[in-house]
Amino acid sequence: MLKAENRELNAYNKELIVMAKAVGVGGVFLKARDPQALARWYAENLGIPAQDGGSLAFDGSESVGMTVFAHFPLDTKYFGEGGQQVMVNFRVDDLDALLEQLARAGVRIDPKRDDAPYGRFAWIWDPEGNRVELWQPLPA
């Protein structure tokens, strides 16, 4: 049964429209030359907990629900045909401390920083050359 907030009047003919909707991100899926090694890198360098089956997942009060982060072989058809590209954004709790930790681990870090009204941003690259965005939201 759809919730009341999913009901609205159609502006054209004043009919009641009941609309299902997406309520969050269920996962991020990347192709990788070596999915297990890349998953291990993210677990070790960004602290993302490993799950059964090799995926990584945020689950608990810090994540406000579960978000899956998984890696797929380069030849997967899961993404459809073509060279679809993505950049993943991770919420972080302490951007400066994480960047220091990543620098000590030899991670390639973009020197650019961005301070926006809604948080601070930095960028890194994983071992397979994927640019990754790190975001520390401003305190509420």
CA 131 to chain centre: 12
Please name the amino acid found at residue 37. A
User: For residues 102 and 46, what is the distance between their CA atoms, to the nearest angstrom?
Assistant: 8
Give me the pLDDT at residue 1, please.
Answer: 46
Give, rounded to a whole angstrom, the gap between the first and last alpha carbons of the chain: 33
CA 23 to chain centre: 15
Give me the pLDDT at residue 109, please.
Answer: 95
DSSP 32-59: ESSHHHHHHHHHHHH-PPB-GGG-EEE-
Q: Considering just the CA atoms, what is the radius of gyration of the chain in Å?
A: 19
Q: What does the pLDDT look like over 20-61, one tens digit per residue?
A: 666 667 788 888 999 999 999 999 999 999 888 788 988 777
Which parts of the chain have pLDDT scores under 50? 1-2
What backbone torsions phi and psi does residue 9 show, to the nearest 5 degrees?
Answer: -85, 135
Give me the pLDDT at residue 43, please.
Answer: 94
Does the pTM exceed 0.85?
Answer: no
User: For residues 25 and 91, what is the distance between their CA atoms, to the nearest angstrom?
Assistant: 14
Give me the pLDDT at residue 83, please.
Answer: 60
Give me the pLDDT at residue 66, please.
Answer: 58
Residue with tokens 């071992």: 127
